[in-house]
């Protein structure tokens, strides 16, 4: 069975641009979460979606937005990119609705902002 897939794996943008990252969860998983991992740090929670509704949001500015589609795939959008947005963006899926249980992670999308 396919695991969590993310695209693109690597991308380079310049300041002020917009980026869209995509995630397909494991088949049957209805919850998708997004995390930002800066080099040398642990992941920071950005969003969680369950059944196409936002269920949680971390301490990120409004430039960050996301959505979940009827097939449970998800997009993370970041507007007006800043140098500090350079990071590995991780998508995780789970079958749990409630408290965070076991998360299954993709390999991430590495964003470099120049």
Partner 1 sequence: GNSVTQMEGPVTLSEEAFLTINCTYTATGYPSLFWYVQYPGEGLQLLLKATKADDKGSNKGFEATYRKETTSFHLEKGSVQVSDSAVYFCALSGGSNYQLIWGAGTKLIIKP
The residue ranges that bind partner 1 (CB under 8 A) are 3-4, 31, 33, 40-45, 48, 50, 55-58, 90, 92, 98-108
Parallel, antiparallel or unpaired: strands 10-13 and 109-113: parallel
Nearer to partner 1, 48 or 81 (CB): 48
Closest approach, Cβ 49 to partner 1, in A, equals: 10
- Tokens representing 14 are 């310049």
Residues 6+ apart with CB under 8 A from 112: 10, 11, 12, 13, 86
Nearer to partner 1, 63 or 107 (CB): 107
């Amino acid at each position: 069975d396919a695991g969590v897939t993310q695209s693109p794996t690597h991308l380079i943008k310049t300041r002020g641009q917009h980026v869209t990252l995509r995630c397909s969860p494991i088949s049957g998983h209805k919850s998708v979460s997004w995390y930002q991992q800066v080099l040398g740090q642990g992941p920071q929670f950005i969003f969680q979606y369950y059944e196409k509704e936002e269920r949680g949001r971390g301490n990120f500015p409004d430039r960050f937005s996301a959505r979940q589609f009827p097939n449970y795939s998800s997009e993370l959008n970041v507007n007006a990119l800043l140098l500090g947005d350079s990071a590995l963006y991780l998508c995780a899926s789970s079958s749990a609705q409630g408290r965070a249980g076991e998360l299954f992670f993709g390999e991430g999308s590495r964003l470099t902002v120049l």
